[in-house]
Amino acid sequence: MNFLNTLAWWQWTILAAVPPAIILLYFLKLKRQPIEVPSTYLWSRAIEDLHVNSIWQRLRQSLLLFLQLLLLLLIMFALVRPGWRGSEMRGGRYIFLLDTSASMSASDINPTRLDKAKDQISAMIDQMKSDEVGMIISFSNVARVEQPFTDNRRLLQTRLAQIRPTNRNSDIGEALRAAAGLANPGRTSQDATDFQVADALPATLYIFSDGGFTAVPDFNLGNLEPKYTVMGTEQPNNIGITQFTTERNPEKPGQTQAFARIENYSDEERKVEVTLLLNDTLLDAVSVEVPPNETSGVPFELSEIESGVLKLKIDSQDDLEIDNVAYAAISTPRLAKVLFVSPGNDALEFALQTTEVDKVAEVTFGQPAMLETKEYEEKADSAAFDLIIFDRCSPKKMPQANTLFIGAIPPGDAWSAGETKTQPFIIDTDRIHPITQLIEMANVKVIFEGFAVQPPPGGSTLMSADIGPIFAIAPRGGFEDAVLGFDIVSNNEKGEIETNTDWPIRRSFPVFVLNVVRYFGGNSGMLASPSVRPGETVELRTRVPVDRIRVTSPNGERQTLERGELTSFPFTQTNQLGVYEIFEGDAKEVSQRFTVNLFDSRESDLKPGLLEIGHEKIAGKAAMEPTRIETWKWILLAVLGVLLLEWYIYNRRVYL
């Protein structure tokens, strides 16, 4: 507690003289009055007369004097303005943004960063006044409005207590847009009767996070006043697994290779024990030294593994546990089902029968006449194939599969073809798309005939020629269609097969075919099953055509997915880390597995960071503003109470 001097020295001198003056007035007060009383009282009065001239006897049991002195002392105490340093919230509308990403589970703040942030928000909610409103938004890589604007503090506390940590990464952009969209007066996501139009009201945006997300360059805070509270210590201690992959040893087919990458995010060198298990059975263990703020790779050479679950652990007492474990599900890769329909194309047939294609796909060859058969129609309508390649032919209707048309366009009006031109040459290739990456077309010298292709809305060009787009791709529901605007081989007037391009003799041609099979077939050929990050969607393809699958999550929960129009089953509930098991149809045995791992350096790096919104960098600081809490108002209320009590006693003539 501290005090503020509000009076000059001479004013204090005058004020200090008042209490002695009050006491002197009591001394001057006459006490003796002639009163006739019965003789029985004479003896007691006589004894009192022995003390009547005592100074302190005059003050004995004088309650009014005590109250008057107390009143004066309280006034003097109020004048020195006692108070202490505290904090308070400023503004009448508060938006609490709470980060629930993986790094907020770090224990460098006891018990965790998220729990500490919730405690701070809870204390702020308790300080809200009756006319103030608050809103809570939690965010990781997606935002969720936990509670729209309300002045019900109990409801805010309930919604806050229900927030749980996630294993996802963080992206504050969506949360900021949600806050801005709900910051206008009267507008909440649940108020369907609000039709008023009003100017935006200022709102204080309290952000509780440890950073770890990219800048939001195109966001305008507008009427939002951000206050960023950094959760985390300046020097956290963490080391984590950021990569764990497996593959066959190309030089030794009977061996399996596993590789892990371990990153040390602390400022000191760390030595950890790395353990590799297969189905909870120890396979190998090594000791690894990782320099400060550096990365170390850990290779493992294993015998051939047909299937199972590999688990990698590092023995480390650090601030984040969830990145100390990684999983890899090993299984025989599912072969993509590919149908190649052509009147004859030795170059493509040869490219589809290479060893690399055999590892990822099962290819069926057929003639255009098969497109008229009932068997084909049934398979095409039941999504029996992942990819159908139509070489110089076209079906009556589009199949329930991904397609590649070579020298032809799909049926219908969605795609269109330009006039056939002679000797077109390719100008540019999309080197980012998986189909055309690593494809070099500059050495393709000859294309005798070709035509430009025009994809439907939403399509994109993968190869451009002097005549226009010559290779394009476009979505169709849950599938994709690609069209190549020139033949690989063609038939002359006599029906003889002639070469239309020298592309098949270039190295890029078999690479192109392999890319097509891998992309449309959904198989990368890796030994391990897919691994995704928390919250990402995984496309599950079955080994045999089934109408439904069951997915068991790491905690034992089961979900059933029904087949729609897609050849795959999109699964989105990937919030838990670990191994997910897939049961196809009514099968009782596990058909496939996939894993969910953190593998995010931004989340594993626990060092708090700045928040950059628009072109403004917001440094972390305390959520509530420092302020001086004074008690003089309450003291004056006490003065009023003492004054009323004195008045009451005086009027009742109560003298003790």
> Domains in the chain and their CATH numbers?
9-79+631-652 (no CATH), 88-235+606-630 (3.40.50.410), 240-326 (2.60.40.10), 336-521 (3.40.50.880)
Rounded to an integer, the average pLDDT of 519-543 is: 77
Nearest to 185 by CA among 234, 230, 133, 231: 133
More confident position, 39 or 399: 399
Give the model's confidence band at 4: pLDDT under 50 very low, under 70 low, under 90 confident, else very high.
low
Highest average pLDDT, of 68-77, 253-262, 312-321, comes from 312-321
Give phi and psi for 509, each to the nearest 5: -65, -55
More confident position, 646 or 152: 152
**642 pLDDT above the threshold of 50:** yes
Q: What's the number of CA atoms in the CB half-sphere (13 Å) around residue 639?
A: 15
Beta bridge partners of 501: 447
Which positions ≥6 away from 549 have C-beta within 8 Å? 540, 542, 560, 561, 569, 582, 583, 584, 585, 591
**71 pLDDT above the threshold of 60:** yes
Pairing of the two strands 421-422 and 449-450: antiparallel
What is the pLDDT, as a whole number, of residue 194?
36
More confident position, 306 or 135: 135
Give the model's confidence band at 191: pLDDT under 50 very low, under 70 low, under 90 confident, else very high.
very low
Beta bridge partners of 483: 405, 472
What is the pLDDT, as a whole number, of residue 87?
55
pLDDT digits (tens, 9 = 90+) for 162-181: 999 999 998 888 888 888 87
Cis peptide leading into residue 570 (ω within 30°) = no
**325 pLDDT above the threshold of 90:** yes
What whole-number distance in Å separates Cα of residue 365 and Cα of residue 383?
17
Pairing of the two strands 336-341 and 361-366: parallel
What whole-number distance in Å separates Cα of residue 394 and Cα of residue 390?
6
User: Do the Cβ atoms of 654 and 63 come closer than 8 Å?
Assistant: yes
Beta bridge partners of 207: 97, 228
Strand order in the sheet with 239-248: 239-248, 255-264, 295-303
**347 pLDDT above the threshold of 90:** yes
More confident position, 208 or 196: 208
CA dist list (Å): 404 to 38, 137, 173, 392, 513: 129, 45, 38, 11, 11
Of the listed ranges 73-87, 445-459, 577-591, the least confidently predicted one is 73-87
Coil, helix or strand at residue 7 = coil
DSSP codes of every residue in 149-203? EES-HHHHHHHHHT----SS---HHHHHHHHHHT-STT--TT-TT-----PPPPE
Apex 560 CA angle, 555 and 566, nearest 5 = 125
Coil, helix or strand at residue 15 = helix
Q: How many CB atoms lie within 10 A of CB 120?
A: 19
Coil, helix or strand at residue 70 = helix
- pLDDT averaged over every residue in the chain: 83
Give the model's confidence band at 193: pLDDT under 50 very low, under 70 low, under 90 confident, else very high.
very low
Residue in this structure with the two tokens 């040459």, named with its chain if needed: 425
Beta bridge partners of 561: 549
Highest average pLDDT, of 16-25, 461-470, 540-549, comes from 461-470
Class of residue 50 by CB neighbours under 10 A (exposed 0-12, middle 13-18, buried 19+): exposed
DSSP codes of every residue in 495-546? S-EEE-BSGGGSTHHHHHHHHHHHHHHT----SBPPEE-TT--EEE--SS--
Nearest to 121 by CA among 50, 202, 60, 207: 207
Helices 63-79, 632-652: inter-axial angle, 10-degree rounding: 160
What is the pLDDT, as a whole number, of residue 560?
92
Which positions ≥6 away from 251 have C-beta within 8 Å? none
